[in-house]
Amino acid sequence: MKKFSIVFLAAMMVVSCRHEKTNFSVKGTISGGHPALIYLSELTNTGIVPVDSTEINDKGQFKLKGYTERPEFYLVSPDKTRGIHLVVAPGDNLTLYINSANFDIDYVVEGSEDSRRISQLIREQNKTLERITGLSEEYEQIKGENDFAYNQVFKAHKQYSRTFILENPASLSSLMALYQQLGKRAPVFELNKDFDLFELVDSSLTALYPSSEAVQNLNSKVVGYREKMILQPGSQAPDIALPDTSGIMIRLDGLKGKVVLLHFWASWCSRCIEELDRLKYLYQKYQDSSFEILAISLDKTSGSWKSAIKEHNIPWLNVSDLKYWKSTAARTYRVEKVPYYVLISADGRIVLNTMSVTEIENKLKETR
């Protein structure tokens, strides 16, 4: 039966020199047949970095050494890819008892509580994969042929893993649990569906291991997604304050009570100019019913911005800090292309983010 290891970090080899000094060790005994050499590698955000290697003696014994300044993830393996995942901290002396027939699954680890938890997680994952394989000889066809059975097995493993994380939120082993995969394109947890778990592990581990690459990587994902969630429909629209053509500051929050269409545009954007007539139609149609357009220009110069407003006779509110793509409003609303529209309700909540005037028009019809 094909075994699947936890997909945790990119498996790209990176050349590295062995540290002269050491502050941890991993010794072990392998029962049954074994290879001549065994390897110790560090798992980083960019790949697998070789740390140490040694011969395995006739009794199946070995000892590996390394140096780390903080708890990090390591791999002990016979072939530099498939192997035993460990969490190693400065001063740790770990001991492994390994069955060579199932090297990366059938083992016992002593000397690291996080590594022990990982071994439990991997054994449970392997049981799940065996159940999945039992449903069909071709794993990739299971979801199409036997959705119910597959979903039940998947759901059970996800519940086990969720409980595992909730019981160990401050353990680095929970990072492994977050990044599990049960085959290609089958993550156990997804950021957009299980954000509560990602956020829990992030807040717990960032406080304990702020300098860990793996923890920093998780934190970056959580922060990025949290910023994205701020702009989802139903969320309170972030306030912006920018000067109009006369230098008077206009605040978005000052327009509460009106339905507001944020219009990100620029005089150099041909499509923006082409869509002005459609926006004028909407403005005239809904202006009497507490509707306002707040246009935020991504122009660089005051002259080009003001000239475009005058030339095209734009009647609505216009503001800009003349910072091009570094516009504070554009960054706040994560604008990557123009024209871009954000429709905001009278109580200040985001209704729609879009690049389509048609979508804006349809949404206004629904809400009027």
Least confident of 153-157, 195-199, 288-292: 288-292
216 shares its domain with 294: no
- The confidence band for 6, taking pLDDT boundaries of 50, 70 and 90, is very low
Question: Residues 120-144, buried b or exposed e (16+ Cβ, 10 A)?
Answer: ebbebbbebbebbbebbeebeebbe
CATH code for the domain of 295: 3.40.30.10
How confident is the model over 12-21, as a mean pLDDT? 46
Same domain, yes or no: 271 and 298: yes
pTM higher than the cut 0.85: no
The per-residue DSSP string of 135-203 comes to H-SSGGGHHHH-HHHHHHHHHHHHHHHHHHHHH-TTSTHHHHHHT-BSSTT-BS--TTTSHHHHHHHHH
State whether 249 and 319 are in the same domain. Answer: yes
pLDDT at residue 45, rounded to an integer: 86
Structural domain boundaries, residue 289: 241-367
Q: Looking at the structure, do residues 358 and 265 belong to the same domain, yes or no?
A: yes
State whether 220 and 259 are in the same domain: no
Per-residue pLDDT band at 15 (split at 50, 70, 90): very low
